[in-house]
Amino acid sequence: MEPLRIGVLGAARISENAIIRPAHETGNRLVAVAARDPQRAADFAEKHGIERVVADYQAVIDDPEVEVVYNPLTNAQHGPWNLRAVEAGKHVLTEKPFASNADEARIVRDAGKAAGVHVVEAFHYRYHPLMARMLELAGNGEIGDLMHVEARMLMPPPGAGDLRWTQELAGGGLMDVGCYATHALRDLAGIGGGEPRVVRAAGGEIPEYPGVDAWLEADLDYPNGQTGRIVSSMTHGVLDFSLRIVGTKGEAYAPAFVLPFSDDRVIVTVGTEQRVEHLGTRLTYSYMLDALARLIRDGEPMITDADDAVVTMQLIDDLYLAAGMSPRTALDGV
C-alpha cells in the first residue's frame, strides 16, 4: 500500500504517540510540520524524522505533497483548521473533540462531503482489539443481557494556566477526557436499540477558572431500557480511565480502556468465576493509522468518521446543557 503523506500542525506532545510513532511503525511518511515557534518546529522535525519544516500551519495544508493533515491543536482550533484543510482538498485526522460544538462539527462534516475528502476523529481506542472485545462481551450473552455501562475518565488537575482551563479555547474536563466516556457509551448504541439519551447531569467549576467544567457526571438511558453513566473530572487524585459493562449474569471491566498499550486487561466476572484476558499492547494509534490508510487507499469505512463525530458533539452539547453549563463557542465565526 502506498504510504500516506502526512502533514502535522504544531509540535504538540500528544503527537509523539498519536502520529509520530505510528507513522514510523506503519511505514507512512511525515512530510511537513509547522509550529508557532520555528525553532521548536525545527527541533521537533529533527528529533522525529519529519521531512521538512514549513512557515506556518497554512503552509502545511498547502504543501503539494501533504495529503493528510493531522490536527492536534487546542480544542477551539480543531474546527477552523479542519475546515481550512478540507477547503484545500486534504483529508484530516483531527484530535478529539472534533469541533467546539455540534453546529461547528456539522459545518466541517458538510464541507468534507462537498470536497470529497475524509475527516476522521482520533478516537484511537475504538480501533484496538480491547474495545472490540468489550463490545463483543456486551452483546454475545456471555455476561447475560446488557443492563448498564459506566465509563470513567478521571485525571489529576492540569497545572495552573494550562490551556484546558480556558473556556475560550473550548477547554473543560468533558471536552478533554470526558469525550472518551461519551463516545464509549455511544459505542453501545447498537445493543441498546439506539443512541443514549441524557437523563440528568451535574457539573462543577473551580473558582480560578469560571465557565470551565472541572467535573461532570451524567446518567443516560438507551431506547431498549439499559442505563449508562459518564463520570468526567480534571480534579481527581489519580488517573481512572475505566469502562465497566454489566449484564444479567456478570460484568466485563477494562481498567484502562483508552490506554491498552499501558494496561491491556479485560476482567470478566460471571458468578463466582473471574478471568483476566490480555488484548495486546500495540499502540491504539497504530491501529487507527492502519484504518486511515485503508480508508484513503481502499475506501474501507472508518468508525469515527465525520457523521459519527457530529453525533458525539451533539451529545456533549446536551450533557453541558443538562448540567446547567454552556456548550463551547466556536472561534473565527465558524
Q: Is residue 43 part of a domain?
A: yes
Give the total number of structural domains in the chain: 2
Can you give the CATH number for the domain in which 250 is found?
3.30.360.10
Model pTM score: 0.97
Q: What percent of the chain has pLDDT over 70?
A: 99
Q: Is residue 331 part of a domain?
A: no
Q: Is residue 322 part of a domain?
A: no
Q: Is residue 40 part of a domain?
A: yes
Give the tens place of pLDDT for each residue, 204-257.
Answer: 999 999 999 999 999 999 999 999 999 999 999 999 999 999 999 999 999 999
Give the tens place of pLDDT for each residue, 282-316.
Answer: 999 999 999 999 999 999 999 999 999 999 999 99
Q: Is residue 88 part of a domain?
A: yes
Residues in CB range of 34: below 8 A, 6 or more apart: 8, 9, 10, 41, 53, 54, 55, 56, 57, 59, 60
Note the pLDDT of residue 334: 47
Give the tens place of pLDDT for each residue, 126-172.
Answer: 999 999 999 999 999 999 999 999 999 999 999 988 999 999 999 99
Range of the domain at 213: 129-281
Count CB atoms within 10 A of the CB of residue 193.
12
Count CB atoms within 10 A of the CB of residue 299.
8
